[in-house]
Structure 1
Amino acid sequence: MSVTIDIAGLPAERISFAPAPLAELCMALHALSQPTHHPRLQSWTTATRAALDPCLADRLLDADFMWRSSFSDVFMPFAGIPGGDGRPGATLAEDLDALDRMDDERFVMAALEHCWLSLYNEGGWPSPLKDAGARAKALETAAARGPRQLAFSVRLLDDTDAVRVWLRRMLEDCEEAFFAETWRRLEPRQTADTRHKTEVLRRKGLPTVLREVSAALSVDDGLTTITADKMVNGRATATDPLIGSGLLFVPTNFGWPHLLVLHAPGWRPVVHYPLDSSELGAAPGSVELLTRRMEALAHPMRMMLCRSLARAPYTTSELARVYGITAPEVSRHLAVLKKAGLLHTRRQGRYVQHQLDLAVVARIGSDFIEGILR
């Protein structure tokens, strides 16, 4: 699974890097609503939530579906205005001004994209402002999220202008409450990162800078397609004449572990990449590798073998005796674990010993390690 961005024929100068204050506010709101996704931000989320005005906290609950489990494209308005330059504003106010310039249909579709995420990303659903079926679908999905989400969605569809004013005011209150000070600290570092990556792109080319952005990004040899290794399928083009050509990379200090790719039809593609992922140790494995590892660990006998291999190195014949199966059967199971990169293998004289790589398994989940070592 992956998201691809068609860049065939895109001039090099149309690939750019820039901070985006409104997009970063979205990620900050996500971190506040889902603190378990972001354990490294615990001190910030705890302090910010404790200091938040109760009235503002309550208002945030009305619209949290726009940032809690998915990330609404309304937080990147610069990418959705036909004929615009595709660049974020230097301030949150400038980004909010761009949001005000977005037409109602585009705004509503983006705000409610969680209601039909796959169809929205494929451009295959009519506007709920005009189509009764689309409206019913949006409200049905909102109702499943809860009464507050349903009430907000009804307001959004019945009085779009009022909701747009309400949303801007709420985001401005967030800036006053916590984001202005946070952005003051983060913006210089993000600006420095975008300058650095712009220089890397100019001097060393696209493949090199993509590796610096994320290990999940790659480009084909012909420099025509960028691929983001994600557990979702999608496609976008950076050369749509209706919206304007361009591909933007936006850094985020709040984003890890999320690598976001805006790929809705009629919007310029944007890659929202987390900073400081290198501090977490080894680069993340591909989705294909993760799938192999999960499948390898799902087999009951391999789980049992892992119980022994986590404690000490074993030979194939030793494992066969312990578990009462043949050596060839053990070898087949070990081959699966080794292909998934879960084993250390070393030769000790004329014997070959195998042991589970706990550092790799720990990146899959501590519950598994605790289970096999219990």
Structure 2
Amino acid sequence: MTGPSTIIDPRDDVLGRSRVTDTPELEAFYEELAARNAGAFWKRANAIEPWEPATRYRPTLWRYAEMRAMCLRALDLVRPDEAGRRVVTLLNDSDAGRENVAVCGWLFSGMQAMRPGEITPAHKHTASAHRFIMEGKGAYTVVDGHHITLGANDYVLTPNGCWHDHGVAADGEVSIWQDGLDIPLMNSLETNFYAVYDQPAQTAAYPADDLPLTYGGAALRPEGVAAWEKPYSPVMVYRWEAVRDALLNLAKVSVGSPFDGHMMRYANPLTGGWALQTMGAHMRMLPGGFRGKAHRHTGNVVYNVARGRGCSIIGGQRYDWQTHDIFCVPAWTWHEHVNLDAAEEAFLFSFNDFPVMEALGVRIEEPFPKNDGHQICAS
């Protein structure tokens, strides 16, 4: 095409942005470049260097009642030893989500159900993983020989490169949990490795729950044990009751955040940093009747409603949620949370890719500047 290049964003019609007028000579030049596996940067500069982040992902909500039924159907259709991991994948409602097998951004998520006596064969991978337990009894994981028991609303780590298997004790109950991994990120970096253990399951090499019992004491560090030198949290599992009580105690002495209510980070107690290197997680408590203000930030967040009912306004659209519904907020998208119960607290678990944003120096956040901090809801 000849004539002035189309300016999609009016802001691009300024010195410093690409606004080249194509000519027949330039068109011929472009063809010569293409024949040499090259191109003219100014043809795509404005698109690949946007004024602000432009997400390819959409806010998406998964109803727990519906997804729970899908997970239970999978129990009858596929054996865990055949599937490797019998996970129902949560795909973002976007082309990018389906293409990258992503829940939001470079994050993966799925839901997994297991019957009593079943195991997921032991394996390891480059991708880091963590899990949020939604229901059941008797679930456990074994990570590098450490046997860890799991209960509802517990948050457990499976750091990258660690041998791990999962299961439900024979005297337990059907258990369901949400997986979160950085598989899309590892694949984009072309660093993903996978290996299977030489036995179906590991033999525990330590007393049950040795790591959380050793390192899980708030503000306490154990003496007389070997120094922990691994780059992830030694706690391994964060118990729901302790997290809930910590938030209730925080609420006694703090008004909390105008955006997130009272919020706790699942942290490495030895460093104060994130529990994993590439993914972070929080639990937030929204007081009864809480109406948060809107903000946005770089980085993607996936939420799981640990308890309560409410709604979130994401990109101007309302999404109602209740216990164990899952929803996501794509990067740089305005969002605000509301607790629709006037008397009872709501608890929102979430995981994110903030550690990557911080390591790269690109974690940025800003409040909504209009309408007293609230979006105009389109629905």
Q: TM-score, normalised by structure 1?
A: 0.23
Q: Which structure has the highest helix share of the two?
A: 1
